[in-house]
């Protein structure tokens, strides 16, 4: 959110007579989906302008004042331009983050899970939000075919875990400004089960939020 906008929190947006105008590339844009999630879970309303060719055009629209807010990945928002310049100038304000725990770079910014607790969001909406936001927790998973023997799966998991502790690899990641926050194969497998094992009411709510 632009720092000069009159909205300092989701609570301000909920109480606002006029919803904030946000930019997005389309209805599949993560920022667009986030506004729909916030409408579903907190009652906050947004006016989303879609059709921008890409993220850079949305950023420019924010700078020009065509829109005053946008959704963005944390990993892409820190350590890059134009966002480094935004932060130096105090141009933007961070309103919400979607991870389960607050990112150290956004220690003062509440998570959607905290807001759902605060607004006593009903169970169906909470579960729908959990399903939709799970994609961010999966990140870029490494997969094997379903028929892969368990002993080979374990070898792959052990090798992957060891690689992500290698000092040279971590140094290269730091050099490339990439965040390394790995999940184990067991954690991802449990997450898949949690996300897929949902009653039809939750599936219907997800479809409604995503416009399907």
Question: Which pLDDT score, from 0 to 100, does residue 78 have?
Answer: 87
Q: Once rounded to an integer, what is the mean pLDDT over residues 128-155?
A: 89
Q: Of 112, 85, 119, whose CA–CA distance to 96 is shortest?
A: 112
Count CB-CB contacts under 10 A for residue 198. 17
Q: How confident is the model at residue 182 (pLDDT cuts 50, 70, 90)?
A: confident
Pair 96, 109: CB distance under 8 Å:
yes
Query: With bands split at pLDDT 50, 70 and 90, how would you rate the model's confidence at 146?
Result: confident
Q: In the chain, what is the straight-line distance between the N-terminal and C-terminal CA atoms, in Å?
A: 28
Phi, psi of 137 (to 5 degrees): -75, -30
Biggest alpha carbon–alpha carbon distance for the chain: 59
The two tokens of residue 12 are 């301000």
**pLDDT for res 177:** 74
Q: What is the mean pLDDT of the chain?
A: 92
pLDDT in tens, 34-67: 999 999 999 999 999 999 999 999 999 999 999 9
Does residue 174 surpass a pLDDT of 90? no
Alpha carbons 146 and 126: distance in angstroms, whole number: 30
**Cβ neighbours around 97 below 10 Å, total:** 20
| pLDDT tier for residue 135 given thresholds of 50, 70 and 90 | confident
Coil, strand, or helix at residue 129? helix
Q: Kindly list the distances between the CA atom of residue 48 and the CA atoms of 45, 110, 116, in Å, as whole numbers in the listed order.
A: 10, 22, 22
Residue 212 pLDDT class (50, 70, 90 cuts): low
Q: In order of start, what are the domains of the chain with their CATH numbers?
A: 10-121 (3.40.190.10), 141-210 (no CATH)
Does the pLDDT at position 115 exceed 80?
A: yes
Nearest to 165 by CA among 179, 180, 147: 180
Q: What is the average pLDDT across 82-95?
A: 96
Q: Are strands 47-49 and 21-23 parallel, antiparallel or unpaired?
A: parallel
Confidence of residue 176 (pLDDT cuts 50, 70, 90): confident
Average pLDDT of the segment spanning 177-191: 85
pLDDT of residue 211: 80
Report phi then psi at 23, rounded to 5: -105, 145
pTM of the model: 0.82
187/4 Cα distance (integer angstroms): 41
């Amino acid at each position: 959110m632009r720092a000069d906008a009159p909205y300092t929190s989701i609570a301000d947006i909920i109480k606002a007579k006029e919803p904030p105008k946000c930019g997005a590339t389309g209805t599949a844009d993560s920022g667009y989906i986030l506004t729909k999630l916030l409408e579903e879970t907190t009652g906050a309303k947004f006016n989303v302008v879609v059709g921008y060719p890409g993220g850079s055009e949305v950023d420019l629209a924010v700078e020009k004042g065509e829109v005053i807010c946008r959704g963005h990945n944390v990993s892409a928002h820190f350590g890059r331009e134009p966002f480094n310049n935004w932060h130096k100038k105090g141009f933007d304000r961070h309103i919400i983050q979607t991870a389960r725990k607050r990112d150290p770079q956004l220690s003062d910014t509440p998570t959607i899970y905290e807001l759902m607790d605060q607004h006593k969001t009903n169970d169906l909406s909470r579960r729908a939000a959990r399903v939709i936001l799970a994609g961010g927790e999966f990140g870029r998973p490494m997969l094997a075919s379903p028929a892969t023997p368990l002993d080979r799966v374990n070898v792959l998991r052990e090798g992957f875990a060891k690689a992500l502790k290698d000092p040279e690899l971590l140094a290269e990641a730091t050099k490339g400004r990439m965040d390394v926050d790995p999940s184990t194969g067991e954690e991802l497998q449990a997450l898949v089960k949690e996300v897929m094992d949902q009653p039809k009411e939750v599936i219907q709510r997800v479809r409604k939020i995503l416009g399907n």
